[in-house]
Every structure is written in structure tokens, then in C-alpha cells.
A and B are shown apart, each in its own frame.
Chain A
């Protein structure tokens, strides 16, 4: 670490509890990163809170929406007397106040008004509350520019996150067990490319393995076109949360159907298509779940936003500090059973 990157004693004192988790070097590294967060609704505010507190260098919030009465029921950083202001004008100052060390930029432009030149400034981009078409459009840009992207959203009691880090090498350290780790493919999207053996400084007769894993990702549109649950255990397929195919159905349904008029039958039709493509069992689908999804489509709910927003922020911080294995590449949260599987689709 050169002096420019060294943390001040004030920073060490403030970030003490988390430096103990990821170390001074990662904390210092985070200070020089720039993140773009699109959409500052319930999940967006949770993500913003967590990464501002973590002490990243610069965060840009991009959101052009107007604050509604309804937003007050799930968003913490806004207040009743700010309704009908720009949402970002209401939430921005409160988020900035969380950590004066972080430079916060607010931008009330439309997403589609932005271009590659704009996106290229960022080390990482998180998109929330995006319609699938915008998510794909954004992902095309991040792929061109080689920028990691997270797309996340919620539907009432359930939430999802799609991750595209394009290609990412993570390093994990673990105690060597009886059977040493082997090089090679470990799952659909992950391959162990290097293993380094290190003596454990605290324990002379134990060895540690520093494992490098290469993660491969798919673009959002490719994932929706090609996803399959092949390779999952029969049991995993049988007990799969209905929220998984339903979420994928909402992401693949034609844009003109995805509105308040969406019917249970329409959603069911697309969910069955998802089951077909993914190799899922149709008889796990329950009508109540479909009804729940239609009713709760695009509804924000604070605990669910806190959970998914926490998971996304944690992964963002993790990869900015280049530590442990990142998420790969699709997670769904079911707020009734607290099920939260990670699928490599």
C-alpha cells in the first residue's frame, strides 16, 4: 500500500468493525471506486445505504421518478412533505448524510438518455426496478464496456437479483482438508484455475489453500433465452419455490402484457413456458402463488427490500474489495419460506 492509499487513523477508527472483516487494503481500495446505482426505490435505498456506509469512493444515484404517497410505505429516506418532489431530491440528502466521506452524485435524467461514455466512468453498475427491456439495453452497454452489472427488483414478498460480472476471478482461502481441492470445473459457471498452498501462521501443522476460481457469466438477454435448471437434483426441482418460475415468467412476458391488467391466466401461460424451457415440474405450480404474484407484481415491501438490498450491497462490496466468491448468476427470495436459492442459469 503506498501512502496515497493508506487509511487515516480516523478512517481506521470509523471503519474498525468492517476492516476486521475485509482488511485495510480492501477498505482503501474501495475508496477509489465509483458505483452507479439506477433506481432509488425501496431496494435502491437499501443498497445505497449499505454501500455509502461501507465507505466506497463515489456513488452516483440515477432516478427520474416523482415521489408518491405509496413510496412512503416502503422507503426510509423520504418524508410525507416531499411527495411530488423528485424522489432523488427527497432521498439524496439523507443518503449523503449517512457518511460524509463518500462523494454522492445525484442525477435525475432518464436512463435511456445515458450513453456508453457516461457508463464508462463507473467501476460497477447496479440497476433496480428496471423493466426487462431496459435491463437488456443496459447490460449490452456494460458488456461493451466490460463493467460488472447487478439487476435487482422485487414483487411483494419475493425478490430477485441477476448478476453479470462477465468474467471474474475470485480468491478464497480455506483450511486444507483431508481431500485437497482439485483444479477444474466445479459447476456450470465456475472453474478452479489455481491452488496455492500456504502454511497457516497460527497453526503450524495446518495448511491453507488459496483457491482461484474463474466465474463465467451470461448476459441478461442470453440468460432469459437459454436458461435451464438441468443439473439440479430431482429434490431441488421438486421443492423449488414457485417464485422462481414466476419471477422468470415476469421477466420474459411481453412488455405490453406486463401491466396492471395482467391476468392470472396470462401469467400462468408464461410460467408454464418457463417450466418447459427450464425443465421444471409443472405440478409444483400452485394457483395461489400465481395469484399472489399477479397481486404483488412490482409492489415494494421494506423487509424484502432490506434482505435483497443487503445481499446485493454485500456482493458489490465484496467484489470491489476482490475477496470471496461473488454471486453467480440468479437468485430468488421467497418471503414466505425465506428460501433464497442461487442458480447458475
Chain B
């Protein structure tokens, strides 16, 4: 008996020989990634490349079992690969980098793999790898966990649903007035303390408040007085900003007075707010502000603390932050909220709790506030173990390595999500629906054709936008009215009434390896050509356009992602009550949202997302800022 005897019993000699040649890409070496690496190695896959951007953090060690205390701050992918050496029989390669970096990981780099495994923690990267899998027609096993909830979804391009075929959970947002005037839950106060107060005081160093987007805000009220008060309050914050930047520690109590006495008094004057029996806030009393406070107080993280203690925490953390701002460098950059930065966390926690006390809302420990403010998703080893096990196991079916299912089609393969642990069912540990066909409305896999354009550096320098459009129109036999868009930043490059840029070369337009162009039929007809997404891949030839079939879709209706209820989204992203704002998210309605270059319409493109942070590679330090307005 030898090491491989078990797997040979399961898949057979011939398939085992194939398995030894399979090259896997594992994206993420965090919670699921650590477990997947273990499983793939024990299964004796031929080659495994592991990509992760992150370094190891203390809070990873409860589940990312390849890492130890001594590894903290080191690269996840390389530590992971070293930690499996003792039992490894595969060719391993570790990369520390962002999978979306087209310089380090151009499209042709992905082409070397036979299968992609997503072990990610954020929506943007998941969508990106999903698109790559669609461009290259490579199978992808998508997975995710949050607490006891988890799912796996095998994706076989062209044959089964892609990651974007079902809409992902919509973000939870709060109306401005709830946050600024009428909070009723701890989370409202945390959002106020973190996004409004902390950001304005310590991070927003620009002079003068921008007025953009004021009209499009969800105020949650049409009370003119209230909206006016909120706007005035923002202006008045200038005074507090000055205090913060003055470094004059004696003026810290003035901040308390303004925020927790004067602002509350003004709020109480807007009678409409308190008409329907809503509990009125009670401003802090004078003696609260003037009393002695403990200059050395540091509440323990699981302590709730009294009002006096919260005030002391507020003053102490404000002073520490002000000291940091005095340093010239920090002053220029401001201080960003970071849940692992004690001073910022304690400031937000105490400010939020003082506000809660004023509004009669339960006070929370620093530990609890850290979760809300830092968008922390619970995570545990067992769920990751189960999900990684399912992911690696189902890869055998996707790669057609299981003799029992040799003659079964793609739509006989199962996806899976936790059922018992997610309180969905008492009589199934997992739910295991079969894969569905691609959603015919999905703009990622169905409402678009995809191909790779090969181009040389010379081509980039010489070919103009107009020239490229002519080539495209000729090759694919598109009609007169077309549009060409750079999907990276939703830039319209050319269409029937915007041709200012047609003399510019592709290079001048900033197109490069990894740029994705969208070429669309804009005729006003019932049947129009299916849009084509073209990936720019740099090579030797001046310009090679891919062969693509001529397919049609219904015209008129703008192509955009349909909001359809997802059967699995409840589990996939089961973390509710967390709000994050991620500026870097690709817009999902990219096909319906074309704007001319430099249209200056960039104002309110911020999107608030929920569930965009789970236990894939635990990148919970991404700069997600809680949304306020």
C-alpha cells in the first residue's frame, strides 16, 4: 500500500494519472484557503498555485490552521505553502498579490490552470475571477462562509449559472435622519460616531464641506427644519475640526458640550420629530462635563461602562488622536478609522455610547462596537473545513474524474450550502440543489459574448479608437450605430453621437493589458446584436480579433442586471446588520450606465454593500468605510 492507494480506489488508475497533471489555482489562503490547500494536497493534485494579498493577523489563528503566532505579519500564501511541506506531494507556488492586478496576473497567466478555486472574502474579487473564468472558459469552484453559514457553487462557463447569475444581497442603508436626528438602535449611533463624527474630525482634512449629492440623498424625512438643522450642524463641525487640529487639549470638553448638549438642544426644538411618542433625547448635564475624570482610564473590551467612564474614554481617546495629528505627516493625511487601531476604536465606541445614553439606547461594549464599526464577520474553523471539503470534493465531478458520474451532464452536478447550522432545516445538514442553467438575463455570462483581443505594443500606439471600431464592425458585421465602452471605469469611448475621441490611439486612451472593452449594437431595432466584451491581452501580433458567433438579443430594453431573488443569497451572505461602503466595487449595472469621458458626473457613485466581506481570505482591513451620506 502506498500514499496514493486510497485516491486510486476512489477514482481509478486512469483518472489518477489525469489528476496528477491537473493544475489548480487557489485564490485566497485565508479561512477557506488554508483548508482547501490541505485537501488539494492530500488528494495529490499535480500543481497548486496559491494567491493571497494578505498578511497574517492574530485574529486569523482561531481557524487559519496553517499559521502560528510567530507568523503574524508574514505573507499568508508563502507561510501556507511552507506549512504543508511535511506532507506535500504536489508542485506548489505561492504568490503574494492582488488577483485583480493585471500586471502581475494577466489573462494569459490564468490560462495555465485547469480549474480555479475561489476562497475569497469580497465581492469585487469574486466577480473578477468569475469574469476571468467566463473569458477563458475555465471551471470555477466558488465558495464562501460567514459564521456557521457556508456555500459552494461549481461554475462551468456556458453550461451552468455563473457567480453573477443571481443577484447578491442588497446593502442595508440608513436614512440620513435616522443617523443624524432620530437613532433608535446601537448601530445608528455607531454609524454616526464613525462615519459622521470621526471622519469629519480626524480624516476629512479638505477645507469646506462639499455640497455634492445633497439632492440625491435618502434623508428619510421631508421635514424642512430637520434637513436644515442637519446641514447647519455639518457646517458647525468646523469649530470642532479646529479644536482637533489646534492640539489644545484643554478645549476637548468643548467638543462634548457642542455634540452632546448644544446639538441635542437644537434637535429637541424640532417638535415634529417628537410628536408621535418618540422618546426624546436627554442632553448631558453641566456637571457631567465639568466633573473630574480618570485620565488613565482604559475600559476592558468586554466592559459596558458608565456614563462617566464613557466621557473619560472620549476625552482620553480624543487627546491621543489629537497628539497623533500634531505629527506633520498625520496632519496631512488625517487618521483613518481602523478597527484594530485602539485610539480610533475607543473614540468611536465612547462617542457612540454617549449618544446611546442620550437617546435611551442600550450601551455596548468595545468588543461589540468593534464588530459593527469594523464590519467583522464571525468565523470558525469547522465551517471552513466543511466548505473547503465540499469544494475540493466537487472538483472531482467538475473535472470528470469520478467514474460513478462519468456519463452525467453538468446539470447533474450539485452545489451545496449549510442547512442545519443555518437553521434552515432540521433534517438535512446540507442542501444540495443541482446546478442551474445560466440565467438568460445575466450580463456577465448570457447577455454578452466574450473574447480575447491580442494586441502588440505597436498596435496600442498606432491603432486609433475609430480604427478599432472599423475593424470590429467589419469583423463582427455590426450595423452603423454602435458604442464602445471601457468597462473598467464605465467610460464611453465612442458612440453614434459622441465621436470626439475617435482620432486618439488606444494607448492615449489608457487602454492596456487587462482593459475590457464593451462593443454594443445601438440600433433602434427589435433584434440587435449581442454585445461583445473584449479583453485586451498584450502579445506579439499587432491586432488579432477573436472569432465569435453572430448572436442576437431583443433590442429596446437596456441591458442591465435584473434584480431577481436569489435562492442562496440568504446563506451566501448571511451577515446582516453590517454596512460597508466600498468605492472600489465594480458597478454591476455597467452596461446600462454609460457616460461620456470626463462628464464630471462622478459625484455620488458610492455604493453601500452588505455581505461583501466574509471568511475567504479574511481581508477585513480593506478600506470599507461605513456609509453615512
| A20 close to B376 (CB less than 8 A) | yes
Is B389 a contact partner of A310 (Cβ separation < 8 A)?
Answer: yes
CB distance from B70 to the nearest CB of A (A): 11
Measured CA separation A338–B393 after assembly (Å): 9
Cα distance A131–B179 when bound, in Å? 61
A97 B68 Cβ-Cβ under 8 A: yes
Asked whether B381 lies within 8 Å of A307 as measured between CB atoms, the reply is: no
Let me know if A21 and B380 touch, CB within 8 A: yes
Pairwise interchain contact B428-A53, C-beta atoms closer than 8 A: no
Whether A113 is near chain B, meaning CB under 8 Å from some CB there, is: no
Question: In the assembled complex, which residues on chain B have CB atoms less than 8 Å from the CB atom of A341?
Answer: 427-429
The reply to whether A68 and B1 contact each other, CB–CB distance below 8 Å, is: yes
Interface string of A144-172 (1 = CB under 8 A from B): 00000000000011000000000000001
Give a binary string over B419-450; 1 marks a CB under 8 Å from any A CB, 0 the rest. Answer: 01101001111101000000000000000000
User: Min CB distance, B400 to chain A, in Å?
Assistant: 13
User: How many residues of chain B are within 8 Å of chain A by beta carbon?
Assistant: 72
A335 within 8 Å of B (CB atoms): yes
The reply to whether B420 and A342 contact each other, CB–CB distance below 8 Å, is yes
Q: How far is the CA of A336 from the CA of B402 in the complex (A)?
A: 8
Partner of B10, one of A7, A69, A156: A156
| A73 close to B (CB within 8 Å) | yes
B382 near A327 with CB under 8 A, answer no
B393 and A335 form a contact (CB under 8 A): yes
The reply to whether A54 and B39 form a contact with Cβ atoms under 8 Å apart is: no
Determine whether B390 belongs to the interface, using a CB cutoff of 8 Å to chain A.
yes
Does A106 interact with chain B (Cβ within 8 Å)?
no
How far apart are the CA atoms of A18 and B147 in the complex, in Å? 8
Please tell me which one of the listed residues A21, A76, A306, A337 contacts residue B389 in the complex, with CB atoms under 8 A apart.
Answer: A306
One digit per residue, 1 when the CB lies within 8 angstroms of any chain B CB and 0 when it does not, for chain A 1-43 equals 0000001010011111111110010000000000000000000
Give the one of A15, A99, A342 with max B CB within 10 A. A342
Q: Which residue of B has the minimal Cβ distance to A15?
A: B62
Q: Are B58 and A14 within 8 A (Cβ)?
A: yes
Is B206 an interface residue when CB atoms closer than 8 A count as contact?
no
Chain A residue nearest to B35 in the complex (CB): A306
Report if B286 contacts A (CB, 8 A): no
The residues in A between 249 and 279 inclusive whose CB is less than 8 angstroms from any CB of B are none
- Contact pattern, B 22-62, Cβ under 8 Å of A = 1, otherwise 0: 00000000000001001100111000000000000011011
Which residues of chain B in 372-388 are interfacial with respect to chain A, using CB atoms and an 8 Å cutoff?
376-386, 388
A73 to B44, Cβ gap below 8 A? yes
Q: Which residue on chain B has the smallest CB distance to residue A313?
A: B382
Decide: A310 and B43 in contact? CB cutoff 8 A: no
Instruction: Take A12-B367, A73-B6, A342-B429 as given contacts and tell me if A303 and B390 are in contact as well, using a CB distance cutoff of 8 Å.
Output: yes
A74 with B6: CB separation less than 8 A: yes
Judged by a CB distance under 8 angstroms, whether B346 is at the interface is: no
Check: B562 CB closer than 8 A to any chain A CB. no
Complex contact B432–A311 (CB within 8 A)? no
Among residues of B, the one whose C-beta sits closest to the C-beta of A236 is B427
Contacts of A288 in B (CB 8 A): 404
Contact A339 B43, CB 8 Å, known A306-B388, A317-B382: no
CA A15 to CA B383, docked complex, whole Å: 15
Given A70-B6, A76-B42, A21 contacting B148 (CB threshold 8 A): yes
Please tell me if B392 contacts chain A, counting CB pairs below 8 Å: yes
Q: Are B3 and A73 in contact (CB under 8 A)?
A: yes
Residues 9-25 of B at the A interface (beta carbon under 8 Å)? 9-10
Judge if A143 is at the interface, Cβ distance under 8 Å: no
CB pair A303–B382 under 8 Å, yes or no, is: no
How close is B324's CB to chain A, nearest CB, in angstroms? 22
Q: Please, could you name 14 A-B residue pairs with CB atoms under 8 Å apart, sorted by A? A: A13-B58, A14-B62, A16-B59, A17-B379, A54-B62, A69-B1, A79-B86, A100-B69, A157-B10, A295-B9, A296-B9, A299-B10, A302-B43, A339-B414
Residues of A within 8 A of B (CB): 7, 9, 12-21, 24, 46, 49-50, 53-55, 68-70, 72-80, 94, 97-100, 156-157, 172, 174, 187, 190, 201-204, 288, 292, 295-296, 299-307, 309-311, 313-314, 317, 324-325, 327, 331, 333, 335-343
Given A74-B42, A302-B38, 19 further pairs, Cβ under 8 A: A20-B147, A20-B378, A21-B379, A50-B381, A53-B63, A55-B62, A75-B42, A76-B84, A157-B393, A172-B423, A202-B185, A202-B187, A288-B404, A296-B9, A307-B389, A310-B383, A313-B382, A340-B429, A340-B432
Would you list the 6 A-B pairs with minimal beta carbon distance, nearest first? Answer: A306-B389, A302-B42, A310-B386, A310-B385, A307-B389, A303-B393
